[in-house]
A and B are shown apart, each in its own frame.
Chain A
Amino acid sequence: MFDPYIWFYTGVALVILGSLGTVFGPGVKDPIVRTLNTEIPAVGVSLIFLTYNHTIAILTYIAATAIITLILLRAIVRLEEMGAEL
């Protein structure tokens, strides 16, 4: 019924493919695209935490990912408004 292996290996595939996508994926010259690509490995890690029943860890991870995305987007927008070459 509930097979932890499915969740675990889906998470593993998402993490590896997502990190490859963040590194080589299309359009990653644009820092915003790169930041959004990091969300895919984030989902994979959440699935892995789910397999291990790490409840508090998954809650904190979701909150931390949201804040990290905010910080990165803020840095990108400020650097762009200052006219830095990205």
Chain B
Amino acid sequence: MSASVLVPSVVSPVVVSLYVPAIFTGIIVGLIGLLAISYQKNDLSALILTDIVGIGMLILVAAVGTDLAESLILPGLVVELAEIMAISEILMSREMRKQGEKMGEPGKKVDLIPLPMSLDMEILTTAPAFMAIILIAYGAFLSGFTGGAIAGGGILFYVISKKIRGVPSGMWEGVAGVSGVAWCLWLVGFIIFFAFPDLWLLALFLAAFGIFIKVAFKAGLVGVMGREEFKKE
């Protein structure tokens, strides 16, 4: 294969032989999604179709087939998630404003997390703290990206179960601040890796726990999103 000049010998031949079909699949799926979005009149349908374009992007990245691809897929997923969250919020607040203009008053109020059932169960008043502590402790033990995801799941579980009694809205300012500080820890860890390679253990722990706190407090996004609603109540 003429492309073998560019491919390092450590890449397995299976990955090399699958590269072209994978790239074509990614491009075809991306084109299908983008064309559908351009013909779409409905904003909500366009939002759902961004998911398809995201899938095409993921296949393109995955086609590289090495650890590099894996490390690029993770931020791609997080960005896609944040993007869909933000656009859905924009759609909803625009609809609220439209209704307010129509009737001269704020539109009909609906739940922050609409569920077809009542969430007022006994287990939700006793279990959340226990479950959240276990998940956060296990996440801190794992550290890194995976631990952050587990601890974030614990925080999210706590917030959603406490929702019926209201979460202190001032808390989210602090969460966002800590998240920023953790991001700085991660950056400092990276700089130490390059500037003082002798201190690699310190750098490793700074980076691991920085990304742990950062990912865990991604749940803060949900809180900041809900703050507007809680203030109105």
Contacts and interface: CB of A to CB of B under 8 A. Distances in A.
Answer whether A and B are interacting partners.
yes
Contacts of A28: 45
A64 B51 contact: no
- The interface size bin for chain A is 35 or more
B69 A52 contact: yes
A78 B114 contact: yes
Contacts of A31: 42, 44-45, 48
B84 A15 contact: no
Q: Tell me the interface secondary structure of chain A in the complex.
A: helix
Given A15-B59, A75-B88, A38 B32 contact: no
Interface in A40-65: 41-42, 44-45, 48-49, 51-52, 54, 56-57, 59-61, 63-64
B146 to A, nearest CB: 7
B73 interface: yes
A83 B92 CA distance: 11
A54 B70 contact: yes
Given A19-B33, A60-B74, A82 B96 contact: yes
Contact of A48 (B59, B108, B113, B145): B59
Interface stretch (B22-30, B164-172, B174-182, B205-213): B22-30
